[in-house]
Amino acid sequence: MDELLKKIEALTKQAEKNDNKEEVVALQNEIKDLTSKFENLEKQQLENQRRGNGSAPVINNIASFANFARKGEITDVLTESGTNDGGVLVPDDIQAGINKDISEGSAILEIAPVKTTTKAKVTYHVRTSGFAAGLTGETDEKTKTDTAKYQDIDISLGGVYAYPEVSNDLLDDTDEDLVSEITSGIGEALSETLAVNFISGDGTKGPKGILSYTQKQVTKKSDLEFGKLGYYPTGVAGALPIKSPWKTFREVKRCIKAPYLKNAFWVMNSTTAGVLDGLEDDNGNPLWKDQDGLIAGSPSTFCGIKVKIDENMPDISSSVFCLLINSKAYQPVRHKKTTMIRDGITHKGFTQFYTQQRWGGGIKNFFGVIGIKGVVKA
């Protein structure tokens, strides 16, 4: 690539100094052919980066990242392995800003702590039944109690990308906070994609959504089963009961063990929240409480449980339209590195920033999450 560019520059200088028209035309044709070849090679390198081929240097700080964004120059790197095909590994402080924007746009990421890894797959050894205990007198013979059972849960990571573009005029404007402009756009785009997949993703190229698991109707704690998403039926097809609809949510709470309720959340869309807001119990006590008016930033509660709004959840229907989920029931997983390729070729007048992270996710505790579905009881 560098040798090809040097050759183009040398031929251009020759053409500028040459007075022979025929030789100038020949030089211009050669320059045109080499330029076309150079652009094709650049496009191929960008494609290789998008597919995860090649390696990239690690930019050291924000100033170096801004220089890369504006000019495409890679300076002040921490380490570099292999050859550079035009991409970089985003510095930690820039990555932290992107991840903050991502977490603020996803109800699941606001609830569940993210596991970071350097691997393509993470395996969890999950206990599916607890250790048993018993009572005994001081001189009584101690008998062996039941042993806990375990199963493995594999969470594979897939690429999640954003492709924001910035006008070249903006790149040239040194007064503009270019880093914030790029990172906020990336964070918002990745957040939207991940939020959808944490709810309904099929798990083939990224997170497996909560609603994508095999579902099982449950009406009590003992009905919950490892590997299946339990759901409580409203008793009415596609709707909540007309009389005392709040009792459905009370019964759902009774299907979760008390320790899991201590850090549990309702997850629903704003339409469902609008239906529940204003509901009262049979004694006229309001069940929905808006905490924002009392404590800034605090979520609303319904039936004593905090509420998170996620517009990717279905409306009240015969699908699972609401979740009661403990903070440790679902496990999001993110690779530690974020890669970026600067593309000043594809869209003339603009520079695009192809940015990729690797994410996965899946239910880790099937006894800490339950849905609500508008169906009759089996």
pLDDT tens digits, 121-174: 999 988 776 444 445 556 656 555 566 688 899 999 999 999 888 888 888 876
Residue 197 lies in a domain: no
Q: What is the mean pLDDT of residues 98-122?
A: 93
Please state, in angstroms and rounded to a whole number, the distance separating the CA atoms of residues 352 and 164. 6
Give me the chain's average pLDDT, please: 84
Residue 165 lies in a domain: no
pLDDT at 115 over 90: yes
Residue 308 lies in a domain: yes
In this prediction, residue 128 carries a pLDDT of 76
Q: What is the mean pLDDT of residues 89-95?
A: 85
Number of domains in the chain: 2
Please state, in angstroms and rounded to a whole number, the distance separating the CA atoms of residues 254 and 220. 7
pLDDT tens digits, 197-225: 999 999 998 999 999 999 999 999 999 99
**Residue in the structure block whose two tokens are 């550079």:** 84
pLDDT at 101 over 70: yes
Tell me the pTM: 0.78
Residue 147 lies in a domain: no
**Residue in the structure block whose two tokens are 């964070």:** 187
Whether residue 150 contacts residue 128, with contact meaning beta carbons closer than 8 Å, is answered with yes
Amino acid symbol at 328: K
In this prediction, residue 196 carries a pLDDT of 97
Where among 25, 43, 61 does a domain terminate?
43
Strand segments, DSSP code E, in 242-368 are 264-268, 288-289, 301-302, 305-309, 320-326, 330-335, 339-343, 350-363
What is the domain-level CATH number for residue 257? 3.30.2320
Q: How confident is the model at residue 83 (pLDDT cuts 50, 70, 90)?
A: very low
In this prediction, residue 296 carries a pLDDT of 52
Please state, in angstroms and rounded to a whole number, the distance separating the CA atoms of residues 149 and 210. 23
Of 148, 178, 140, 190, residue with least CA distance to 338: 190
Please state, in angstroms and rounded to a whole number, the distance separating the CA atoms of residues 316 and 202. 22
Residue 24 lies in a domain: yes
Beta bridge partners of 154: 123
pLDDT at 257 over 60: yes
Which residues span the domain enclosing 273? 210-331+365-373
Residue 202 lies in a domain: no
In this prediction, residue 94 carries a pLDDT of 85
Please state, in angstroms and rounded to a whole number, the distance separating the CA atoms of residues 147 and 130. 7
Whether residue 182 contacts residue 369, with contact meaning beta carbons closer than 8 Å, is answered with no
Please state, in angstroms and rounded to a whole number, the distance separating the CA atoms of residues 347 and 41. 16
What does R_g of the chain's alpha carbons equal in angstroms?
28
Amino acid symbol at 109: L
Amino acid symbol at 291: Q
Whether residue 267 contacts residue 325, with contact meaning beta carbons closer than 8 Å, is answered with yes
Of 176, 214, 196, 177, residue with least CA distance to 102: 196
In this prediction, residue 221 carries a pLDDT of 95
Q: Worst-scoring range by mean pLDDT, 74-88, 135-149, 337-351?
A: 74-88
Please state, in angstroms and rounded to a whole number, the distance separating the CA atoms of residues 9 and 34. 10
In this prediction, residue 84 carries a pLDDT of 41
Residue 158 in 3-state DSSP? strand
The token duo for 88 is: 């970089």
Residue 217 lies in a domain: yes
In this prediction, residue 44 carries a pLDDT of 56
Q: What is the mean pLDDT of residues 248-277?
A: 96
Q: How confident is the model at residue 182 (pLDDT cuts 50, 70, 90)?
A: confident
pLDDT tens digits, 27-78: 788 877 777 766 665 555 555 544 444 455 666 677 777 887 887 776 655 4
In this prediction, residue 139 carries a pLDDT of 60
Instruction: Return the percentage of the chain with pLDDT > 70, whole number.
Output: 80
The secondary structure of 42-54 as a DSSP string is HHHHHHHHHTT-S
Reported for 172-179, long-range contacts at CB under 8 A and 24+ positions apart, including other chains, are 172/70, 178/66, 178/69, 178/70, 179/62, 179/65, 179/66, 179/69, 179/94
Please state, in angstroms and rounded to a whole number, the distance separating the CA atoms of residues 265 and 107. 10
The token duo for 368 is: 């800490």
Taking the CA of residue 304 as centre, how many other CA atoms within 13 Å lie in the half-sphere pointing to its CB?
9
Q: Worst-scoring range by mean pLDDT, 177-181, 315-319, 350-354?
A: 177-181
**Residue in the structure block whose two tokens are 């001189």:** 139
Backbone region of residue 259 per phi and psi (left: phi > 0; alpha: psi in -120 to 50; beta: other values)? alpha
Q: Which residue has the higher pLDDT, 191 or 347?
A: 191
Q: What is the DSSP letter of 212?
A: G
Q: How confident is the model at residue 248 (pLDDT cuts 50, 70, 90)?
A: very high
Q: Which residue has the higher pLDDT, 2 or 317?
A: 317
Residue 138 lies in a domain: no
pLDDT tens digits, 274-326: 999 989 999 999 999 986 544 556 789 999 999 999 999 999 999 999 999 99
In this prediction, residue 41 carries a pLDDT of 57
